[in-house]
Structure 1
């Protein structure tokens, strides 16, 4: 992907995000005794993911929406990349800030391609540039443009809709991305996959992301820093995930962390940090003959083979006993229940392994097969963490 025009050097690392500063920002609604947000001050570092986590009604979404002025602050100052956000035209400001919400918020009468093209169109991009950008963004979030570009939102799964929502938010290459519980309405497996996708994208894009959630596990997985908020967006603790897990600032923060903090350390470790070699796993391509695959499995004394497509992405499992009379691999394919990426946490890996019966498939940056991880590898890590931190589970 092309580097954003807003790319800057930050600590020796090129990022396309910019710093956000909120100074004594408050929001008061008429007729309310107390402000919804009171004297909120924070620096969001350029190119990092900062998570707002807290109970419902604490003001976290209101605080985030004041950044792009979907909600106008009553008082205070907000700067984005050194520019006073409150002095800019609100519509122009929002076109430079990506925004992704729960259930995607797609225009139902627009196709996928038209949804992604909305902001570039408002910015006056040429049709050719917009078309190229739409294809680029769809490929970036793992949706084949030829297959999905002309579909309507109702023809997509919940997870696919959320991917389109993220693609639309990033289409104009904004330095800042605001995300309001974007994965809260999908099933747990899809949610984990979308979280992995966001982390993969962020590795490449280095945007400044403010992400609202009520799920502390999601905050630990995604955040470079976490802001635990109380009533009126009072900052109870603003620190890295590992620091908050190790030393909650008070009893309220400790309540968010919950029991088993040492096991939550699994959320800080990624699959890429452990051995996910493919030793012992037989991979085949979807065009292979069942007889050839059966012979390979039999010679290797293996029960299952993993079927890959022509881009080496996992498709399905095949069992050796089903291959003798099969006309094709597709005819006897068994679905992959759950998989993980190198960006997934060890907690995700453990859940996938239990779902898959002892071993989970691992995919790389573009969904390609790179190996597998088994229960023993994860449990060795758990035992090591418990030895280091004590068993508080």
Structure 2
């Protein structure tokens, strides 16, 4: 019997439930299996994070879902379909897959990389072109700027965005992610995590995410599975439940010290009252003289320059403006910012980097407001009171 999980459609699809029942993987010449009788139900449309030490079998477990690794025994169903009775190539074309080193084809352009799976599925050229443009916009890459670039011409973060776009291009119900953000710097990693949460809020895929970083697991997961040797499940629960009540010493070791501070990772910027009008925002087309007048009227020294799509670009001080004919090149680029999907831990790091106040952006990078250190410290104080109660 062959087939696919679903036929790709123009509309977004909801995720599919994944059920693994007593799944085992043994390799010839080894005394113990790499994965032993692993059973788990992954809810449709949720992010489930597999976290555990190196060599515990978490990547092998995930790769059995799309049969990159063939199970020795057990059953795997995706959306009610037996994955072991679907042609492996067809199965993989209906499951998105993103990895740490991205795996982009170096001699393909960005658009060609993203179009790969839709092409294999025989979509027509216009549909593919439209989908590529849609995906690039979705992950925050301007098609006019990046479509014809080669991977070597991109930063690590941009390459990872292309990898995610490629994994989502055929609109799969399931997305497998194997430490996809592990090879980028901390700020870029945080931005990519925010981007994934934003995409998930829009698309509702079923995501299985592998990491060894417990903080990343807490930030991203609707549920976390802490795995021990041979992928034995030590605890499978929501992040807040694991933080509050680790099941055993191994799980407690992953949680580590400062569990109450980790609660900042459970609170999103969207959950607190950030300032929507604490700074003066001006368009990059405005005349410097007019900006000076606005700053003087507002009694403020700094303005935030926005582009035509209302995305924050630069901070400019009033003393930099006299004598200028335009705002081109004026001010200092906005550094670390946060989105409404960001955690308060991300916000705290951005605030410290930016000197006391960080920019908050929406789903398309547009300015929503700012958040300051006082907001975060009030939340920390409340968490401490709750913890000591």
TM-score by length of 1: 0.95
In the alignment, is the contact (CA less than 8 A) between 2:284 and 2:305 conserved in 1? yes
| 2:48/2:225 contact within 8 Å kept | yes
Paired with 1:245 and 1:223, the residues of 2 have a C-alpha distance of 13
Please state how far the C-alpha of 1:293 moved relative to its aligned partner.
Answer: 1.1
Counterpart in the other structure of 2:3 = none
CA distance in 2, matches of 1:5, 1:334: 48
Structure 1 match to 2:297 = 299
Matched with 1:81 is 79
Which residue of structure 2 lines up, in the alignment, with residue 63 of structure 1?
61
Q: CA deviation at 1:331?
A: 2.8
**Offset at residue 147 of structure 1 (A):** 1.0
Instruction: Tell me which of 149, 162, 176 is aligned to 1:151.
Output: 149
Aligned partners of 1:321 and 1:385: how far apart in 2?
Answer: 41
Note if contact 1:342-1:362 (Cα within 8 Å) is conserved in structure 2: yes
Equivalent-residue separation in structure 2 for 1:192 and 1:5 (angstroms): 33
How far residue 330 of structure 1 moved from its aligned partner, in angstroms, is: 2.4
- 1:103-161 per-position Cα deviation (integer Å, ceiling 9, x unaligned): 21100000000000000000010011100110011111111111111111111111111
* Residues 1:211 and 2:204 aligned together: no
Q: Measure the CA separation in 2 of the matches of 1:55 and 1:330.
A: 49
Q: CA deviation at 1:220?
A: 0.4
How many angstroms apart in 1 are the aligned matches of 2:277 and 2:67? Answer: 52
Partner Cα separation in structure 2 for residue 104 and residue 386 of structure 1: 40
Aligned residues: 382
Measured in 1, the distance between the counterparts of 2:169 and 2:277 equals 39
| Paired position in structure 1 for 2:226 | 228
Structure 1 runs (4+) greater than 3 angstroms displaced:
4-7
Question: How far apart are the structure 1 equivalents of 2:150 and 2:139?
Answer: 17
Give the 3-state SS of the residue equivalent to 1:332 in structure 2.
coil
Aligned to 2:108: 110
CA–CA distance in 2 between the matches of 1:76 and 1:282?
60
> 2:166 aligned with 1:168, yes or no?
yes
Question: What secondary structure sits across from 1:32 in the alignment?
Answer: coil
Match of 1:244 in 2: 242
**What is the SS of the residue equivalent to 2:303?**
strand
Work out which of the residue numbers 267, 282, 285 in structure 1 matches 2:265: 267
Unpaired runs of 5+ residues, structure 2, are 1-5
- In structure 2, the residue matched to 1:378 is 376
Report if the CA contact (8 A) 2:226-2:236 is conserved.
yes
Closer, same or farther: CA 299–177 of 1 in aligned 2, 3 Å = same
Q: 1:125 is matched with which residue?
A: 123
Paired residue for 2:307? 309
> Is residue 320–residue 331 contact of structure 2 (8 Å, CA) maintained in 1?
no
- Asked if the contact 2:98/2:176 (under 8 Å) is kept, the reply is yes
SS in 2 for 1:108: coil
In structure 2, C-alpha distance between the alignment counterparts of 1:5 and 1:245, rounded to whole Å: 40
Which residue of structure 2 lines up, in the alignment, with residue 10 of structure 1? none
